[in-house]
Amino acid sequence: MARHSAFGEPEGLAAGTGGDGVPIPGTGEHLLIRALLGRGDIEAALERARRAQPMASRSDAVDLVVDLALEAERLQLARGILAHVGAEISPLQDAHVRARIALCEGDLAAATAILVTAIEAQPGAMPLRALLAEVMVAAGNAADVRAVLSMLGMAPVNPLPRDGSEAAEDLGGVDQRLG
């Protein structure tokens, strides 16, 4: 007989998974995926993660396997997973994974640069914006999060004209307020 949670939903569809099919941390599925990663068998770990969450996309399996590698502080392995999946994931997910690896390394400047570049390419990418906020808080810049996130992805205030000549001088801007 299946166990039930406090909300009356079945607790697991398969052993070691939640009702959504995602492996529960510390259960057999996670342990098996971690063991496969420990052996360096990235493809088998990805395949096992995909089978553990049959309704999920490939990107969810990649995220799960990268998360497990990062939890185990295996940064080289996480980079290897990223190299292995390469063009199979979107550029946004690639940026997200690379920024998470940089964050785990403590390289907040690299994580910020990766995220800013990706957000400028696609301003509506909310997971990237959330991770950038997390990186900024970790860097001690929590007070600037709202201002930075509101400005990212906006068109330049004084762009170059289409003919390639220099932009007109902005005499009514910052210079007058300072002086």
Domain enclosing residue 29, as ranges: 12-73
Residue 95: inside a domain: yes
φ, ψ at 50 (rounded to 5°): -65, -40
Residue 16: inside a domain: yes
Look at the pTM and tell me if it is higher than 0.75.
Answer: no
User: In the structure encoding, which two tokens stand for residue 93, read together?
Assistant: 């997910």
100-141 pLDDT, tens digit each = 999 999 999 999 999 999 988 888 888 898 898 889 888 888
Confidence of residue 53 (pLDDT cuts 50, 70, 90): low
Judgement on whether residues 67 and 111 belong to the same structural domain of the protein? no
What is the pLDDT at residue 160? 64
Judgement on whether residues 64 and 118 belong to the same structural domain of the protein? no
Residue 29: inside a domain: yes
Q: Are 61 and 43 in contact (CB under 8 A)?
A: no
Residue 67: inside a domain: yes
Report how many domains make up the chain: 2
Judgement on whether residues 18 and 50 belong to the same structural domain of the protein? yes
